[in-house]
Amino acid sequence: MEDLGDRLVVSFRPRRRWTAILFLLVWVSFWTFGGVFAFAALLGSEPGTAAFLMFWLCLWAVGETVAVGEIAWQLVGREVLTVTAEWVEMRKQIRSLVWRRRVDAAAIQSVSAHRVPSDEDDAPRTDFGIRIVYSGGSEHVGELLSEHEAEEIAAAVDARIHPRSWWEDQRPFRRSDPLVVRTPTTTLSAGGFVIVQPSPRRLRTVAAVVVAALVALAALLATLA
């Protein structure tokens, strides 16, 4: 945790599950070999076979990206929480590839220590992170903390967002100005490029168009065979 004057920066590393990492490394090796073999077969295949191989290579690329991304996240990934009096930014990064969500400080309702959520098939986690509740949702940041560490970080973050003078401690907090909250923004950036995350409805539309295009291409190549 670093206090840089105008902002507070807290960095967390993800839990490294070495069994999963070793499994994914072996799986990616065979998966990559299969993709190279399929691409070589595509170059000299008939149109009907080429259509099937192109469709399979699209699925192969998705699997390759997810597996490599998970390995990179566990080995070099970081979660970074940046806090100012105006906004809070929750960032996940793998080197220069960054996913970020920024929320106005006025929208923050609570910051607290919270046990790390566990998957349905896993045993309950015993480590803690930071839970940030804001208007319209909540985010969990960090893991591998003790309850005391998480409480100290949560208190420091809350103090930066909601600074209180000595006379405010003597009376109930009242807000005279209307609360103006902007919708949290999620972006993905890599190097000099920044991409704003589209809405779920737009994502579904784009996915449907891509799938329809692949099916149409496969049907066209099959008719030419």
pLDDT for residue 119: 75
pLDDT for residue 5: 85
Answer whether 142's CB lies under 8 Å from 12's CB: yes
What is residue 129's three-state secondary structure?
strand
pTM recorded for the entire structure = 0.64
pLDDT for residue 70: 92
Provide the edge-to-edge strand list for the sheet that holds 108-115: 108-115, 128-134, 137-145
Burial (Cβ within 10 Å: 0-12, 13-18, ≥19) of residue 122: exposed
pLDDT for residue 157: 92
pLDDT for residue 213: 57
pLDDT for residue 215: 55
Answer whether 106's CB lies under 8 Å from 129's CB: no
pLDDT for residue 9: 93
pLDDT for residue 197: 46
Answer whether 145's CB lies under 8 Å from 153's CB: yes
pLDDT for residue 152: 94
Q: What backbone torsions phi and psi does residue 14 show, to the nearest 5 degrees?
A: -75, 160
Q: Residue 171's beta-bridge partner residues?
A: none
pLDDT for residue 182: 43
Q: What is the mean pLDDT of each run of 10 residues along the chain (225 residues)?
A: 89 89 94 90 84 91 93 92 93 89 92 87 86 91 91 92 61 40 45 44 54 56 55
